[in-house]
Amino acid sequence: MCALSTSAQLNTDRLTAIGRNALYFEDFVLSIQYFNQVIRLKPYLAEPYMLRAIAKVQLEDWEGALEDCNQAIEINPFVPNTYYTRGFIYRQLEQWELAEQDFDKALKGAPRNRTYTALRADARLHMENYDGALEDLNRLIDENPESADLLHDKAYALLQKKDTAQAIEYFKQVADKMPNEPNNWSVLGTLCLMRNDEEHALEYLTNAIEHGSQWAGDYINRGIVSYKQHDYKTALNDYNKAVKIAPNDVQCHYNRALLLQEVGDYNHALTEYDKAIALSPQSHELYYNRGLIRMQLMQWNKALQDLDLTIKHYPYFMPAYYLAAQAKMQLGDYQGAQKYRDRAYQLDRNKTTTRIYPKPRTDVDIVKEKPQERDRRKEFSVTQAQHSEEVQDNKYESASRGSVQKHYTDVQLEPNITIGYYAAGKELRQTNYTHALLDEVNRRHILQAPLRFSSKQVTLTPEILQQHFERIAQLDAPHFFARALEENIVRDDASAIEDCTRAIQHMAADSILTPFVYLMRADLRAAQNMELDITLHDYDEVIRLAPTLSIAYYNKANLLYKHQDYKGAILLYTKAIEIDPDFAEAYFNRGLTRIYIDQVKEGLQDLSRAGERGIYQAYHLITRFR
């Protein structure tokens, strides 16, 4: 007994070590399989759950990773890294309060950990607990006063507290430490422009552009400074550059339209307003501006259309009524003009009427952008969780290695698991592709080769196919099932169905082969889209004869899904999983079925379990449907 215990310990230690190694080299899907084995052998250990959670985090399976963290904490609530991992997951799910609570717990166990502190500060920022965030940031800055990232975060926190002056001072420090980073100058320039500090705004925005900024907002904002200083030529040059960078940006066209309107270039101004309205037809205030231009160009009917739209959305904006009256006068409709004036007069007399409406645009639009937040996903890595050296990003030949969630996957069910002589490799899947009855058939050598289950077709060479054609010619009664197996290999499905029927007619009712004959006929009928009832009857016969054959429930579920009986399919997938808790394909298909009927949360959980059991394509779908 002692020897067996020592052997098991060595096995789990070795499996954990191999899993860690796979995790380190970014073979996340494979690492999960090793941690699965450790959990199966020793479900009372916290570490494999935590390591499996880390692998799932790398695959962006937040729900599955959260479940593993919860299990690890239940087993051992004294590991800071587990709280850090779970806190990171809550952060990705934008559950900021829970994230902060976990980072608190992580810091109790590792009070000097800088990553935990930085992530708690980030959670507090999102919770608008700016004082708490500043407390964390100040502590980090005291330990590392040269960190531009920390100074940036502190500046952002101060900005959110409306302490713009202090925020600018810290953004200046960031810019001094990272002078070649255009975003820092952009932020400073925008803030100064908002404070009407045009001199410094011009300096900082010019720095941003000279250091390679490709953000249209820098050109727009610098153009605004020139516009305010009546340097229209310079402003127009910047607006032109902004439009070139961002041709679909409403603010670019609006500001250029306003400048052209200012200098009397009404035709070009009208073109810009047309573009701005086409890009944002719900920006109703723009119609008033275009109406003014059309009045200048004496396009009275079109001007009236724009003014009526303005009145419709801003019924208390009296200048629109007077302009509409003027347009009516120019069109010779004096009675119509008087109606607009009367309406304006009534509005002016009724002072008690609530008049809440946005003013139509009459000034330039400053492009405001929050300082860019740090991408903290890179701070959660295999190496951080295991305190190892940095992992380099590489591209891998294996489709199952690396960030598999980024590889596109079509949304389609896993196919039936069919019976035959050939079986493709299982890859990483944990599904049980055997059964006691199948083992007994193979033990008795009833057929010329062992029977196998497979979810993938195997491509055979012409020489091997010819051998099977010759075998078909040699087989006759009573070898109907053996011949059906051969016909299935060469894709003569109609003959295979006929021979399955003959086999059932001539076979003893209690034959060990009977359930497999029904299964083959059911799968062939399903593939041929034959009558639903007779196909379901075949699956029911398999289940009656072999009630623990999980594959029969699974294949029948696929048929029900195909015929849009989604609830029935879910029940059968569930039954297959009850028999085989590691049935990867059943989890995958049940997950997609649940998502299809809008049971998204449950569906994502199923996809997570499918990924955990080797169907790595599930991870892309998790990120896609979340």
The kind and range of the H/E element at 209 are helix 198-210
DSSP code of residue 399? T
**Side chain identity, residue 58:** Q
Cα torsion for 83, 85, 90, 92, to the nearest 10°? 160
Express each pLDDT in 203-216 by its tens digit: 999 999 999 999 99
CB 283 within 8 A of CB 260: no
Instruction: Give the bridge partners for 419, in sequence order.
Output: 453
Domain 216-368 has CATH 2.70.170.10: no
Q: How far apart, in whole angstroms, are the C-alpha atoms of residue 584 and residue 581?
A: 8
Express each pLDDT in 36-91 by its tens digit: 999 999 999 999 999 999 999 999 999 999 999 999 999 999 999 999 999 999 99
Residue 378 above 50 pLDDT? no
Q: What is the pLDDT of residue 458?
A: 82
Q: What is the pLDDT of residue 385?
A: 41
Residue spans per domain, the chain: 216-368, 418-625
Instruction: Give the bridge partners for 452, in sequence order.
Output: 420
Which CATH number is 418-625 given?
1.25.40.10
**Side chain identity, residue 292:** L
What secondary structure does DSSP assign to 84-121, as a single string? HHHHHHHHHTT-HHHHHHHHHHHHHHSTT-HHHHHHHH
Q: How far apart, in whole angstroms, are the C-alpha atoms of residue 559 and residue 352?
A: 68
Token output for 83: 């709280």
258, 333, 331: which is closest to 288 by C-alpha? Answer: 258
Instruction: Give the bridge partners for 195, in sequence order.
Output: none
Q: What is the pLDDT of residue 1?
A: 42
Angle at 220 between CA 214 and CA 222, to 5 degrees: 95
Q: Name which of 91-105, 140-154, 321-335, 424-438 the model is least confident about.
A: 424-438
pTM of the model: 0.67
DSSP code of residue 80? H
**Side chain identity, residue 575:** K
The kind and range of the H/E element at 418 are strand 418-420
Q: Residue 479 class from Cβ within 10 Å (0-12 exposed, 13-18 middle, 19+ buried)?
A: middle
Token output for 322: 């007077």
Tokens 């955990």 label which residue? 612
Instruction: Give the bridge partners for 453, in sequence order.
Output: 419
Distances in Å between the alpha carbon of 456 and those of 43, 422, 496? 32, 9, 19
Report CA 301 to chain centroid distance, whole Å: 49
Asked, colleague to colleague, whether 216-368 and 418-625 share their fold, the answer is yes
Express each pLDDT in 441-492 by its tens digit: 999 999 989 999 998 878 888 889 899 999 999 998 889 999 999 999 998 9
Side-chain-side CA neighbours of residue 496 (13 Å): 24
Is the preceding peptide bond at 547 cis, omega within 30 degrees of 0? no
Q: How far apart, in whole angstroms, are the C-alpha atoms of residue 105 and residue 125?
A: 18
Instruction: Give the bridge partners for 454, in sequence order.
Output: 418
